Amino acid sequence: MRSIIEEVRWELDSHGYYFVKIFLSGGITREEVFENRDIVDAFGIGGTIANAPVIDFAMDIVEIEGQQRQNEASGAG
C-alpha cells in the first residue's frame, strides 16, 4: 500500500498539485496508520474502532455542475 501512496504523491507533486491532501480510508488497521502517517494527511478509521458491523461501500462522482464524469476504473456505461 505504501508504494501506491508514494506513487500517487509523486504524480500529484510532479504535476503541480502540492496542495492536494491524501486521505486513507477503508478497513485500515492501527498498524497501517502508524506505517503511513508520514505520507498520509488524514485517516478514516471508523470501521476499525466501531463496535457495530461494518458495511463497506464506495461511491463515484458521476456529475459535476451538470457535466457527466466517469471514473476511469469503473469502465464505460
- Res 32 pLDDT > 50: yes
In this prediction, residue 38 has a pLDDT band, given cuts at 50, 70 and 90, of very high
Q: What's the rounded Cα separation, in Å, for the pair 2 and 31?
A: 12
Going by pLDDT thresholds of 50, 70 and 90, the confidence category of residue 77 is: very low
- Output the nine-digit C-alpha cell for 69: 464524469
| Angle value at C-alpha 38, between 19 and 73, nearest 5 degrees | 60
d(CA 29, CA 36): 11
What is the structure's pLDDT at 23? 93
> Which one, of 64, 41, 3, 60, lies nearest residue 11 by Cα?
3
